[in-house]
Structure 1
Amino acid sequence: MEGVASDAGSAVAPLAKWRDEFARTFQYYLDRSTPNPVHRWLGTLAVAAIYVLRVYLVQGFYIVSYGLGIYILNLLIGFLSPKVDPELEALDGAALPTRGSDEFKPFIRRLPEFKFWYSITKAFCVAFLMTFFSVFDVPVFWPILLCYWIVLFVLTMKRQIMHMIKYKYVPFSIGKQRYVGKPAASSSGSVD
């Protein structure tokens, strides 16, 4: 009996070692991609293009695409929302600064950009893998799903934009804000 247990343990050890090495290598490349958002998003765009091409060529898996669209919409809401919702904060007695003497609170996302990117990329990869299994190819009339998703997107974004206007926050910052001093006066003393 002991021989059987030791054989099973020795068979599991190489698999666990390989899994740990793979996880470590994957994390290494994930960490290296962090400071390169443009390259990361271009890679995700390539994965999305491959998925769209696969769905187009197969002419199916519209339910998978619809589920992917709903999931991406959910991620987008988290990406555009503040970590601390001002509506809930107002109920607690705390509020956004309204005077110059109030404390400045920078916009912090509920879902950071890196996690947003990583979740979208994983979602496209999982959806791509699902297109290889016929059980997920449920026959539907895809234009109805597309219209419903568009209506859902418009209504959700309208609500999100109204929330952004009401509480005066902008979830995007393009580059670092730079302050430039006044131009130096010319040192020539000539008068025209």
Structure 2
Amino acid sequence: MDLTDADEGFQASTNPAMKYYGQAKAHYQFYMDKITPHVKERWIGLGVMIAVFVLRIVMSQGWYVVCYALGIYLLSQFLAFLTPKFDMTLQQDEDNKELEAGERASEFRPFIRRLPEFKFWNNAFKATSGSLIATLFSFTDIPVYWPILLAYFILLFILTMRRQIQHMIKYKYIPLDIGKKKYTAHK
């Protein structure tokens, strides 16, 4: 340990803001570790939180830009969740080279997401929480004609999902567990 490491540790322990930040971060990580295995409960909680946010937007008839920004962010996170981590075009080129050389790739290649499920949920939770907090301040309520934002979001959603579905069909992968067989251990 050199002198700068000891000096930084000393400053962090004497600075009350840094000490509080470190404690808050440790508490946050503790609770994130506890709720990680509860997948259904996490997503139900996020759904309730988004429903409360939408109810807040509808009842107050404001904060449409905040709602639009949240929608765009959640859409980008969802696309990262559906997208494979590795480029399928490179994998297909490797498979074609192996077939041309007379070797058949028989190894199982699992679907690995660009954005794992827990990070997707965590990012969505943080963004929804931030959006709910933003609706508490009047300066974030920017006047805008909301039907245009809604139409643009729907168009953006349709175009991006169409492209994603075409990619899934072209490279023959299913990113969701819907319809997949589940195997159980026999006793």
Task: Settle same-fold status: TM greater than 0.5.
Answer: yes
- Of the candidates 38, 51, 57, which is equivalent to residue 59 of structure 2? 57
In the alignment, which of 26, 30, 33 is matched to residue 24 of structure 1?
26
C-alpha distance in structure 1 between counterparts of 2:172 and 2:155, whole Å: 25
8 Å contact kept, 1:78–1:109? yes
2:110 to 84, 106, 112: 106
Contact 1:86 1:95 in 2 (8 A): no
Residue matched to 2:127: 123
Unaligned residue ranges in structure 2 (runs of 5+): 1-10
Matches within 5 A, 1:40-55: 40-55=42-57
Structure 2 letter corresponding to 1:28? F
In structure 1, distance between residues paired with 2:12 and 2:160: 53
Contact 2:63-2:142 within 8 A present in 1 as well: yes
Q: Number of paired residues?
A: 171
Q: Percent identity?
A: 45
TM-score with structure 2 setting the length: 0.81
Residue 63 of structure 1 aligns to a residue in which SS? Answer: helix
Q: Which residue of 1 aligns with 2:183?
A: 178
Q: What's the TM-score, normalizing by structure 1? A: 0.79
Which has the larger Rg? Answer: 1
- Residue 164 of structure 1 aligns with which residue? 168
User: 2-side partners of 1:95 and 1:10: how far apart?
Assistant: 53
Please identify which structure carries the higher helix content: 2
Deviation at 1:11, TM superposition (A): 10
Cα distance between partner residues in 2 of 1:161 and 1:134: 39
Letter in 2 for 1:164: M
Q: Which runs of 5+ in 1 are unaligned?
A: 1-8, 182-192
Paired residue secondary structure (2:132)? helix
User: Structure 1 CA distance, aligned partners of 2:36 and 2:125?
Assistant: 14
The offset of 1:176, in angstroms, is 6.2
